[in-house]
Structure 1
């Protein structure tokens, strides 16, 4: 007698979460966030320790390869990055064809993607290929950002200087002046703060692209395109505009009350992960104060501090506090960086995190293919053109 097949278990509907909020999409050993206590670690190391003691290239090495480098590993990595800072004249010529009024993030996305044409060999199982790709992207992204800034001003790009460290060299290429050592160190610490932050939108984009086993240049280009959106990478520009709109310390309280009443978004406040002040904002505030001691005060900082004080009373009970964008724009402005380069600088730093997730994705890859909840029409019969009802 033939036994009947076992009954199939009824499928359990998966709840829909807009924006995948709270839905685990991967397992990762790169970054950990404790949003209740305001803690952020890279590979287990507290961000505060890295910002105080490390350099961006050392932190990038940690993120990408999982451990702090030895003195010899760091020296070799720094030398390799230094040797690969220059970009092909063909990429510079391509950038000269970009419209001067185009946004630097669009220029960066196109330029990053173009690297795949110059290094088209794809050998994702070859450790040397992976190392070389990491070096090229870490080295060349800053050069391309600085090059477009000068090209759109009608000037030729400045070649990198081999005697300058990573951050000092970028500021030199950008401003045509060798930076003050304090400014260069503060900028380097800013890059550390922005290097990684778990599975945010651009990092998720990078992992989805990486899961198709395309080349790492396409992975970074896709992440740059995602970071360009105003809900992700551009908020620090909006913070400065908000502070300028408020204008003075005395106007803060009334401005904030009106903004809350009108349900207006307070730029630089609130984060999906943190219910306390973003630990990166704490460090950035101190960096801003260090810059002001060296190069002069910025009156907008007083407006920002007062806004934070008043907002703590109005918004703090809801778990809304300053995030990483609140003070970073003030730091970049004091460093003489144009406002529309704030997000490309974010991309320079976050390239380290994107590449770390690229390597991790390759280690246990499965292409991303989430499901959906269909909300369209039921099955319908096709109608000839003359039989279709007129649309009013």
Structure 2
């Protein structure tokens, strides 16, 4: 593209009068998608034409991954081929494997999610990922499959290296969730734990145009490669307002401690204007369907932690209804996600990275959809600084 055409496009963009929009683009429709939607007033969300919760209850992670990438649930032959293909992609190139100890040392305080940004970028370079603008749909999809398949390998390796342990090589014979737990702990998980984590992962693959998904699509709209888009999405997820709450919700349970402290502890914080981690959602105006499903999974395990969590949920919702009448504030996905992951043996510092394993599939599906549209996302901003042009002051002597 010539400089003249660039100048012309920039000039045209400056003549467009910006529209008044809500802060944070809340509720603004920015594109069309066939991947799914969130209907917050109904407490419902879906992947393509299927309820996401029903998929989590009845299908495997690989089935839903296939749905997001291929547009349909697989039959038996497709399931077998897809599972075999994605399992074979879990292994790391030597260039990435040898660099992981240094990445883990550099990110030991920030954690595996910070290390993932570097490791994913290196993986894309090692696998010769090219700009999606230059690729046909099959190659874009191949790059996206490869990236999604190694995210669990990268995250578990970075975590273990940060703990002074050796990474555990992936096993091709284990399903996605079971293999993730195996690489994380070094032991093959029980079927109940593997299925619980799988259901959590399925339920968090995609969830509308959240900040990280939108970030990934903006990067993809420039024609950049799949790894670049995913690194940007991970960066957005790392912000505490987006992806950091599952462990913080458990920290709330720890801070409350016992049932007799629930009322006083919660009231004090609500009256002080503090946020109660694990409660409230910017989209849902009724119960978060993910939380409802995960509560059922947690109750299937049972035990003191689950009983206490249910007590806290009941009392917190009653207190919030009393102190904030007219507002619908219920548990969100993070509250029982933390409980389920704790019961399945995941360390708390791996709660948000586990979320990233699932969301990488949703991000990638969005990247592939965005790559099919060559229009760059280029919004406008309303300038509110000092009135220009003003004379540039002379250099002081």
Alignment of 1:321-360 (within 5 A): 321-360=330-369
The CA deviation at 1:316 is 6.6
Q: Do the aligned partners of 1:248 and 1:303 also contact (CA within 8 Å) in 2? A: no
Q: Aligned runs of 1:113-262 on 2, under 5 Å?
A: 113-122=121-130, 124=132, 125-262=135-272
Partner of 1:372: 381
What displacement does 1:107 show? 0.7
CA contact (8 A) 1:249 1:302 kept: no
Post-superposition offset of 1:253: 1.4
Cα deviation for residue 104 of structure 1 reads 1.3
- Note the residue ranges of structure 1 that are not aligned, 5 or more in a row: 1-9, 388-392
Offset of 1:39 from its aligned partner?
0.8
Local SS of the residue matching 1:189: helix
Q: Write the distance in 2 (CA, Å) between the matches of 1:283 and 1:107.
A: 31
Q: Does the alignment pair 1:84 with 2:89? A: yes
Query: Which residue matches 1:363?
Result: 372
Q: Deviations over 1:269-313 (max 9, x none)?
A: 1111110110001001111112236xx755642453344443453
The answer to whether the 8 A contact 2:148-2:364 is kept is no
Aligned residues: 376
Alignment of 1:272-283 (within 5 A): 272-283=282-293
Aligned partner of 1:55 among 47, 56, 60: 60
Secondary structure of the corresponding residue to residue 396 of structure 2: helix
**Judging changes above 3 Å, is the alpha-carbon distance between structure 1 residues 106 and 300 closer, same or farther for their aligned structure 2 residues?**
farther
Give the aligned partner of residue 108 of structure 1: 116
| Coordinate RMSD, CA, aligned | 1.9
- Whole-angstrom CA distance in 1 between matches of 2:116 and 2:301: 28
Cα deviation 1:110-167 (Å, max 9, x = unaligned): 1111111112242644233123212212211001111011111222211111221111
- Contact 1:35–1:275 (8 Å) recurs in 2: yes
Match of 1:6 in 2: none
> Whole-Å Cα distance in 1 between the matches of residues 257 and 28 of structure 2?
41
Rounded to whole Å, the distance in 1 between the matches of 2:18 and 2:160 is: 54
1:21 counterpart = 2:26: yes
Equivalent-residue separation in structure 2 for 1:55 and 1:163 (angstroms): 15
2:36 to 3, 7, 31: 31
Query: Which is greater in Rg?
Result: 1
TM-score, length basis structure 2: 0.90
Q: Give the Cα separation in 2 of the matches to 1:170 and 1:243.
A: 26
Which residue of structure 1 lines up, in the alignment, with residue 76 of structure 2? 71
Residues of 2 paired with 1:72 and 1:304: CA distance? 46
Deviations 1:203-234 (A, max 9, x none): 00000000011110111111011001000000
What is the CA–CA distance in structure 2 between the aligned matches of 1:280 and 1:56, rounded to whole Å? 15
CA distance in 1, matches of 2:121, 2:311: 40
Separation in 2, partners of 1:344, 1:318: 31
2:396 to 377, 386, 390: 386
Distance 1:119 1:219 in 2: 15
CA contact (8 A) 1:43 1:66 kept: yes
TM-score, normalised with respect to structure 1: 0.91
In the alignment, does 2:301 pair up with 1:291? yes
